[in-house]
Amino acid sequence: MAKKQINENYIHNCGTKKVDIVNYEKAIIDMGYDDEQIKEILDFYLFHAPVIKSDSNENVRFGLKSLGDYGWKGTPYLNKLEGRLLKAANLGMFCIIRADSIKQTLESMELGTRICCEHPRAVLKQLFTVDVMEDGTVNFANKETRMICLFRHIRNSIAHNCTYLFDNGNIMLEDADDKKSITARVLIPKQALLEWIHIVKHGIE
């Protein structure tokens, strides 16, 4: 039997009591945000979230934006953005993975069906392509940046109502593919969802 290959940096082992996430399913509108906050969350993450945007008239017509439209353009600025988002949510890192499945990493990060809900952390599957050359060389290429990956999963989570609220005030955003395989789980303080909006919109100023 092949040995499970897990990135040693992607292991969470805090000893905190685990909870069953099925008991904490909760829609964003039922999480205790006030009406203005709910409006702000839905407006940004569903309708104006940073996406990979072409210059087509349809994208302009429906108000889609890119991180560049918000001023976050180029690697230095994107790295700065990632750092600010991490700090605002008390996250050590975003575990962003190019793989067919992130199931093992979710388990090693205690983000499976029973989780530690105390410590913020995030595991996300990044879109990528694989090209196999005639000499057998395999090349991987990202189809999205790390930050676009994050906001895509958040948008899907809220749009599909795959969200959780825990007793300590942390929330978890979950995304899945067409085969119902989990592609992201992001555990953050509830307030961070609002702080991230303000960082994207005004943080570069």
Q: How buried is residue 123: exposed, middle or buried, by Cβ count under 10 Å (0-12/13-18/19+)?
A: buried
**How many Å apart are CA 159 and CA 144, to the nearest integer?**
20
> What sign has the CA pseudo-torsion 45, 50, 56, 61?
positive
Per-position pLDDT tens, the chain of length 205: 444 566 777 999 898 999 999 999 999 999 999 999 999 999 999 988 887 654 544 455 456 788 988 899 999 999 999 999 999 999 999 999 999 999 999 999 999 999 999 999 999 999 988 888 878 787 877 889 999 999 999 999 999 999 999 999 999 999 999 888 999 999 999 999 999 999 999 876 6
Q: What pLDDT was estimated at residue 140?
A: 78
Q: What pLDDT was estimated at residue 2?
A: 43
**How many Å apart are CA 34 and CA 200, to the nearest integer?**
21
> What sign has the CA pseudo-torsion 8, 164, 38, 168?
negative
Distances 48 to 44, 70, 80 between C-alpha atoms, Å: 5, 10, 21
Task: Give DSSP secondary structure letters for 56-122.
Answer: -HHHHHTT-B-GGGGT--SHHHHHHHHHHHHHHTT-S-EEEE-SS--HHHHHHTTBSSEE--SS-EE
- Would you tell me how many other CB atoms lie within 10 Å of the CB of residue 100? 9
**How many Å apart are CA 100 and CA 111, to the nearest integer?**
18
Q: What pLDDT was estimated at residue 9?
A: 79
Q: What pLDDT was estimated at residue 50?
A: 83
Find tokens 């410590």 and name the residue. Answer: 119
182-195 tens-digit pLDDT: 999 999 999 999 99
Phi and psi, residue 51, nearest 5°: -135, 170
Q: What pLDDT was estimated at residue 57?
A: 46
3-state secondary structure of 17: coil
pTM attached to this predicted model? 0.89
> Do the Cβ atoms of 158 and 174 come closer than 8 Å?
no
Task: With CA atoms as reference, report the closest residue to 13 among 103, 81, 91, 115.
Answer: 115
